[in-house]
């Protein structure tokens, strides 16, 4: 599953898949603007057929947060 | 949900557009809420149609400031087209949630004030810019605090917004520059709960969800198509399993599916949709592999056929391949292949036509005929900013054209044919009544067009008032009737001794009748009367204007450097077969 997750992050944030790591976030990814943050969540919702609550959406500060919320929704992320 | 790519696809693709196209458009986006991503969508969708689109996105909810400040970036950008996207929450503020905290009279007053505010703003913008502006209607939300009592409420919350929309439309019914986009219909088609997503609204002030922003972008492209005049003009249709169900050659006259009962009703209704497009100026033609006698019997005699012989500008019903027939249709109707739409149920035929004519819009019909109508309704390619009388009469014009072609076939030579046609040419200065049609010709004519300069209606309006320009249109009548305004020329007075032909064009409908000789004689004679010694002209070649490439040399213009020049000696005679009427 992480392939799909990384593919979406890479596409939305315009970074190479190999450079993605858990601690990356708006401060370290240049294209992670607030707008692209919404786009990312929207693409994840469509891609994994899930819905984020507004609390979850507000809570995302890095890739690890994204993974945590996906795992809580039953998505299996294998490293 | 309509088939669309995701917003991030558009954002990525827009960064990869490198090609610069001949057709260009500059669009400004003004809005009362976040529409991030819309500019990328418009750029990508434009590039897909070979248009270079540059976008200025004003900071959100600052549209009033941008319009009122004459030095704002909005004006510096010099847009061709501006979209102003507004919403009821923003326009009505607190009243949106608490409409019944005030009386119905107060509600009406608020609407009046808001409409006036917007009117002042739009008038101000139009006065200070050359841009067309497209303002959105407000979405009428389905919810009201009054619930089912809403329709018993005087000047209700819903009435307020409906009234706003109605007044907005009424104010600009005849405006050349202000257009009203029916955002409420967009919501009606796509669904309020789909387009408006509370989570995205609270999180990022998005009032159009990310999934539906590309759908909106597609709808707004209608204005780009209309503005640039790249509208499709003709639908070429197959017959078996397209206009009727079944195969007439096998199932017979009585066996095909066409009538008020299912499944024949599908085809009857599809034909009605096509007829409605024909009535507003879309040409229809047939390209079918069939026995001519079988098919024409259905077209002429079948009781449930909606489209009849008189609705088709060309009928190619034979056993030739579809591409050969298409070539003949293009020749007979005399239009650019890029203004054609092809509808055929057979994927093999579709692929074949597409492979030879990639510029033809080939509809990928599904295998369910009941979906044909929606596929046509969803096309954005017939969009025009204006429908003229010429459009409405186009069907009849082509019928007349067919008779002319028959006359030409029976005439022994061109001279006899032209004599028999009894051509009358009226040359008129353009005025406010002929302006819309003249602008339409200038935007759409490709083949017999010397310079292919594209002027909007407002540009030509300015030229009419400028004494340095002569803007003239040509109306052509013949023994079969009136062709309407089908030619335009614009002269720029360069100095006291020299004129320049800025624009010279004729609709393809009147090509091949040597009408241009009469018009050129008129220009030369008029120049002579004004003591002009030289007429200058340019020929700007395009992929499509080959028919006019020898026009200047045929009229004894001599090439001087990049330009062409005609030295006036004496007046010249009009061709004998033309009756000229100069107003």
Contacts of B235 (CB under 8 A, 6+ apart): B274, B277, B282, B283, B284, B285, B340, B341, B342, B343
| Confidence check: pLDDT of B48 > 80 | yes
**SS3 sequence of B216-263:** HHHHHHHHHHHHHCCCCCEEEECCECCCEECCHHHHCCCCCECCCCCC
Q: Number of helices (H) and strands (E), helices first, in chain B?
A: 24, 19
- State pLDDT tens for residues B318-338: 999 999 999 999 998 888 899
- Of all helices (H) and strands (E), which one includes residue B317? strand B312-318
Set of chain B residues whose Cβ sits within 8 Å of the Cβ of A51? 199
Q: Name the nearest CA neighbour of B268 among B289, B245, B247.
A: B245
And the tokens for B182?
A: 């029916």
Residue B7 has pLDDT above 60, yes or no: yes
- Residue in this structure with the two tokens 């026995």, named with its chain if needed: B291
Cα–Cα distance for residue pair B245/B151, rounded to 1 Å? 45
| B476: β partners | B425
Tokens coding B413: 């030579």
Looking at chain A, the number of H-run helices and the number of E-run strands are 4, 0
Main-chain dihedrals φ then ψ at residue B476, nearest 5 degrees: -120, 130
- CA distance to A10, B160, B172, B173, per residue, from B166 (Å): 46, 10, 10, 10
**Amino acid B574: pLDDT:** 86
Calculate the CA dihedral of residues B187, B188, B191, B196 and round it to 10 degrees.
20
Across the range B178-198, mean pLDDT stands at 96
Confidence class for position B398, pLDDT limits 50, 70, 90: confident
Residues in B closer than 8 angstroms to A39, CB to CB, are 7-8, 11, 37, 210
- Paired residues of B314 in beta bridges: B285
Instruction: Please tell me the predicted confidence (pLDDT) of residue B482.
Output: 85
Over residues B164-190, mean pLDDT: 97
**Which residues have CB under 8 Å from B142's CB, separation 6+?**
B192
HSE, CB side, 13 Å, CA atoms: give it for residue B430: 31
Q: Which residues pair with B556 in a beta bridge?
A: none
CA distance B213 to B248: 44
SS3 B534: strand
Q: What does the alpha-carbon distance between residue B468 and residue B346 come to, in Å, rounded to a whole number?
A: 56
First to last CA, chain B: 56
Contact B204 A35 (CB under 8 A): yes
Q: Kindly write down the DSSP assignment for every residue of B147-192, as one continuous string.
A: GGGGGGSTT-HHHHHHHHHHHHHHHTTT-SSEEEE-HHHHHHHH-H
- Would you mind telling me the total number of residues written for chain A in this entry? 79
For the cut 90, the answer to whether the pLDDT of residue B401 exceeds it is no
- Rg, chain B, Cα only: 27
Determine the length of chain B: 583
- What architecture (CATH level 2) is domain B234-377? 3-Layer(aba) Sandwich (3.40)
Task: Confirm if B114 and B164 have CB atoms less than 8 A apart.
Answer: yes
Q: Residue A53: pLDDT above 90?
A: yes
Q: Using alpha carbons, select from B161, B146, B13 the residue that is nearest to residue B86.
A: B161
List the structure tokens of A66.
Answer: 């994204």
DSSP 8-state assignment for residue B4: -
* Contact assessment for residue B252 and residue B302, using Cβ atoms and an 8 Å cutoff: no
How much is the ipTM here? 0.89
Q: Of the candidates A11, A35, A42, which has its C-beta nearest B12's C-beta?
A: A11
Which residue shows structure tokens 């033309």?
A: B578
Beta bridge partners of B81: B27, B132
What distances in angstroms separate CA B113 from CA B106, B108, B117, B181, one per listed residue? 11, 9, 6, 21
Domain boundaries, chain B: 7-228, 234-377, 412-582
Q: Retrieve residue B403's tokens.
A: 């008779």
CATH superfamily name and code, B412-582: Gcn5-related N-acetyltransferase (GNAT) (3.40.630.30)
**What mean pLDDT comes out for the span A51-57?**
93
Please determine, for residue B504, whether its predicted confidence score (pLDDT) is greater than 60.
Answer: yes
Retrieve residue B155's tokens.
């000047």
Strand, coil or helix: B104: helix
Q: Do B203 and A54 touch (CB under 8 A)?
A: yes
Would you place residue A2 in the very low, low, confident or very high pLDDT band (cuts 50, 70, 90)? low
Decide if B526 contacts B560 (C-beta within 8 A).
no
pLDDT tens digits along A30-42: 999 989 999 999 9
Instruction: With beta carbons under 8 A apart, name residues in chain B contacting A14.
Output: 12, 15
Model confidence pLDDT, tens digit, residues B237-275 = 999 999 999 999 999 999 999 999 999 999 999 999 999
Name the pairing type of β-strands B469-478 and B423-429. Answer: antiparallel
Whether the CB-CB separation of B98 and B151 falls below 8 Å is answered with: no
Mean pLDDT of chain B: 94
Local structure of A26: helix, strand or coil? coil
Lowest mean pLDDT among A18-27, B75-84, B145-154, B567-576: B567-576
B8, B15, B203 member nearest A12 (Cβ) = B8
Phi-psi region of B261 (alpha: psi -120 to 50; beta: other; left: phi over 0): beta
Residue B171 has pLDDT above 60, yes or no: yes
Whether the pLDDT of residue B527 is over 60: the answer is yes
For residues B525 and B580, give the distance between their C-alpha atoms in angstroms, rounded to a whole number: 13
B564 and B537 Cβ atoms separated by less than 8 Å: yes
Is residue B272 within a helix (H) or strand (E), and if so which, with residue range? helix B264-279
Going from the C-alpha of B142 to that of each of B101, B152, B161, the distances in angstroms are: 19, 15, 11
Report CA torsion sign: B224, B230, B231, B235: negative
Q: Is A54 in contact with B210 (Cβ distance < 8 A)? A: no
Return the higher-pLDDT residue of B399 and B307.
B307
Interface of A with B in 22-51 (CB under 8 A): 34-35, 38-39, 42-43, 46, 51
φ, ψ at B306 (rounded to 5°): -90, -45
First to last CA, chain A: 9
Q: Which CATH number fits domain B7-228: 2.20.25.90, 3.40.720.10, 3.40.50.1110, 2.10.10.100?
A: 3.40.50.1110
CB B224 within 8 A of CB B51: yes
Please give the pLDDT value at position A49. Answer: 94
Q: Are B96 and B88 spatial neighbours (Cβ–Cβ below 8 Å)?
A: yes
Q: Using an 8 Å CB-CB cutoff, list chain B residues near A42.
A: 7, 200, 209-211
Beta strands B534-537 and B558-560 are: unpaired
Whether residue B248 contacts residue B290, with contact meaning beta carbons closer than 8 Å, is answered with yes
Residue A1 has pLDDT above 60, yes or no: no
Q: B487: part of which helix (H) or strand (E)?
A: strand B481-493
Residue B34 three-state SS: strand
Measured between beta carbons, the chain B residues lying within 8 angstroms of A60 are: none
- Best probe of the A interface among B31, B204, B209, by most A CBs < 10 A, is B204
Are B234-377 and B412-582 in the same CATH fold?
A: no
**B116-141 pLDDT tens trace:** 999 999 999 999 999 999 999 999 99
| Proportion of chain B above pLDDT 90, given as a percent | 84
pLDDT value of residue A79: 58
Contacts of B34 in chain A (CB under 8 A): 35
Task: List, in order of start, the domains of chain A with CATH numbers.
Answer: 2-72 (1.10.1200.10)
How many Å apart are CA B100 and CA B371, to the nearest integer?
A: 44
Decide if B438 contacts B473 (C-beta within 8 A): yes
The pLDDT value recorded for residue B122 is: 97
The answer to whether the peptide bond before residue B263 is cis (omega within 30 degrees of 0) is yes
Cross-chain CB nearest to A43 (options B8, B34, B204): B8
Give me the mean pLDDT over the B75-101 stretch.
Answer: 97
């Amino acid at each position: 599953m992480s392939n799909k997750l990384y593919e979406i992050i890479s596409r939305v944030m315009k970074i190479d898949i190999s450079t993605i790591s858990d601690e990356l976030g708006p401060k370290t990814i240049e294209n992670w603007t607030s707008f692209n943050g919404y786009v990312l969540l929207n693409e994840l919702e469509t891609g994994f057929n899930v819905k984020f609550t507004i609390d979850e959406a507000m809570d995302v500060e890095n890739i690890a947060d994204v993974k945590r919320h996906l795992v809580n929704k039953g998505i299996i992320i294998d490293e | 949900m309509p088939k669309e790519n995701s917003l991030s696809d558009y954002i990525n693709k827009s960064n990869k557009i490198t090609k610069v196209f001949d057709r260009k458009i500059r669009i400004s986006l003004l809005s009362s809420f976040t529409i991030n991503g819309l500019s990328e969508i418009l750029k990508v969708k434009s590039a897909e149609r070979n248009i270079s689109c540059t976008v200025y996105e004003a900071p959100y909810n600052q549209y009033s400031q941008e319009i009122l400040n004459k030095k704002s970036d909005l004006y510096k950008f010099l847009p061709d087209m501006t979209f102003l996207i507004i919403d009821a929450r923003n326009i009505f503020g607190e009243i949106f949630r608490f409409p019944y905290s005030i009386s119905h009279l107060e509600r009406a007053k608020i609407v009046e004030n808001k409409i006036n505010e917007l009117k002042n703003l739009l008038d101000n913008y139009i006065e200070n810019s050359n841009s067309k502006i497209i303002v959105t209607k407000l979405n009428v939300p389905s919810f009201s605090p009054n619930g089912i009592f809403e329709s018993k409420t005087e000047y209700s919350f819903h009435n307020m917004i409906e009234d706003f929309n109605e007044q907005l439309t009424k104010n600009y019914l005849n405006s050349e520059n202000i257009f009203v986009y029916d955002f409420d219909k967009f919501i009606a088609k796509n669904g309020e709960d789909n387009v408006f997503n509370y989570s995205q609204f609270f999180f990022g002030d998005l009032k159009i969800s990310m999934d539906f922003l590309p759908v909106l972008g597609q709808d707004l492209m209608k204005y780009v198509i209309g503005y640039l005049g790249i509208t499709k003009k003709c639908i070429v249709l197959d017959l078996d399993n397209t206009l009727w169900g079944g195969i007439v050659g096998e199932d017979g006259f009585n066996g095909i599916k066409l009538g008020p009962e299912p499944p024949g009703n599908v085809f009857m209704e599809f034909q009605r949709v096509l007829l409605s497009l024909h009535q507003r100026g879309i040409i229809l033609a047939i390209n079918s592999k069939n026995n001519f006698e079988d098919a024409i019997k259905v077209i002429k005699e079948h009781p449930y056929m909606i489209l009849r012989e008189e609705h088709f500008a060309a009928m190619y019903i034979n056993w030739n391949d579809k591409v050969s027939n298409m070539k003949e249709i293009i020749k007979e109707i005399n239009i650019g292949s890029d203004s054609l739409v092809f509808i055929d149920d057979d994927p093999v035929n579709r692929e074949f036509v597409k492979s030879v004519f990639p510029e033809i819009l080939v509809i990928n019909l599904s295998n369910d005929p009941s979906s044909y109508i929606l596929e046509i309704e969803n096309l954005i390619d017939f969009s025009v900013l204006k429908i003229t009388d010429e459009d409405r009469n186009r069907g009849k014009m082509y019928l007349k054209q067919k008779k002319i072609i028959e006359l030409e076939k029976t005439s022994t030579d061109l001279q006899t044919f032209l004599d028999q046609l009894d051509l009358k040419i009226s040359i008129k200065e353009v005025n406010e009544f002929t302006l819309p049609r003249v602008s339409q010709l200038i935007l759409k004519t490709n083949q017999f067009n010397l310079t292919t300069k594209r002027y909007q209606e407002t540009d030509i309006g300015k030229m009419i008032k400028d004494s340095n320009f002569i803007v003239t249109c040509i109306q052509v009548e013949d023994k079969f009737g009136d062709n309407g305004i089908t030619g335009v020329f614009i002269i720029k007075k360069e100095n006291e001794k020299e004129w320049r032909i800025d624009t010279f064009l004729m609709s393809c409908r009147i090509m091949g009748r040597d009408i241009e000789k009469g018009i050129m004689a008129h220009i030369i004679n008029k120049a002579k009367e004004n003591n002009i010694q030289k007429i200058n002209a340019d020929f700007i070649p395009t992929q499509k204007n080959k028919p006019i490439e020898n026009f200047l040399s045929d009229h004894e213009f001599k090439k001087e450097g990049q330009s062409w020049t005609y030295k006036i000696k004496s007046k010249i005679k009009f061709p004998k077969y033309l009756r000229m009427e100069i107003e």
